[in-house]
């Protein structure tokens, strides 16, 4: 399990303290020069600032993480499973107004979307529309 952001911040603070204690001795013994020492401490302070900003923006929270994008599933070639019975889905269906008496209507979209319930062998709105695709409605992650 990854370390929490609080643990990471505490670790970086300890590292900065250690560098401030050790680096002057390293410079005095000629193991590093002043610029290397100050750059090393500044880099860790920048890491600390980045972690603090990420914590303030709640970037470490599950609800603030990108979720995998759901994709449209072609229908009726693929159907929801038995355990999805009575679940709601986004469905795409052919727009009945896309083709009028004169032919194609370029002002009307080809497909329309709505929410429909899977009842085990079909979607509830299937009697009214020709469904072409469906997608599970994503759930928000819990913290």
pLDDT at 138: 80
The length of the chain, given as a count of residues: 143
- For residue 65, count CB atoms less than 10 angstroms from its CB and return exposed for 0-12, middle for 13-18, buried for 19 or more: exposed
Question: Among 16-20, 59-63, 75-79, which is the least confidently predicted range?
Answer: 59-63
Residue 131's H or E segment, with its range, is strand 131-136
Mean pLDDT across 32-59: 93
> pLDDT tens digit string along 21-42?
999 999 999 999 999 999 999 9
Work out the mean pLDDT of the chain and round it to a whole number: 88
Mean pLDDT across 8-25: 96
CA–CA separation, 9 and 89 (whole Å): 42
Mean pLDDT across 47-70: 81
> pLDDT tens digit string along 73-98?
999 999 999 999 999 999 999 887 77
DSSP 86-130: T-EEEEEEE-TTSEETTEE-TTS-SEEEEEEEB-SSSBGGGGTS-
Model confidence band, residue 141 (pLDDT cutoffs 50, 70, 90): low
Model confidence band, residue 57 (pLDDT cutoffs 50, 70, 90): confident
Model confidence band, residue 143 (pLDDT cutoffs 50, 70, 90): low
Q: Whole-prediction pTM value? A: 0.47
């Amino acid at each position: 399990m990854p370390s929490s952001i609080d643990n990471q911040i505490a670790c970086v603070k300890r590292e900065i303290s250690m560098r401030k204690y050790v680096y002057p001795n390293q410079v005095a013994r000629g193991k590093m020069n002043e610029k290397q020492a100050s750059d090393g401490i500044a880099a860790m302070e920048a890491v600390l600032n980045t972690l603090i900003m990420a914590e303030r923006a709640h970037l470490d929270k599950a609800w603030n993480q990108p979720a995998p994008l759901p994709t449209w599933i072609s229908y009726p070639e693929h159907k929801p499973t038995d355990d999805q019975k009575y679940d709601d889905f986004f469905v795409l269906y052919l727009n009945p107004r896309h083709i009028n008496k004169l032919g194609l209507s370029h002002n009307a979209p080809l497909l329309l979307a709505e929410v429909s319930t899977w009842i085990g062998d079909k979607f509830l709105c299937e009697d009214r529309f020709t469904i072409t695709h469906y997608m599970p409605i994503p759930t928000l992650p819990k913290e």
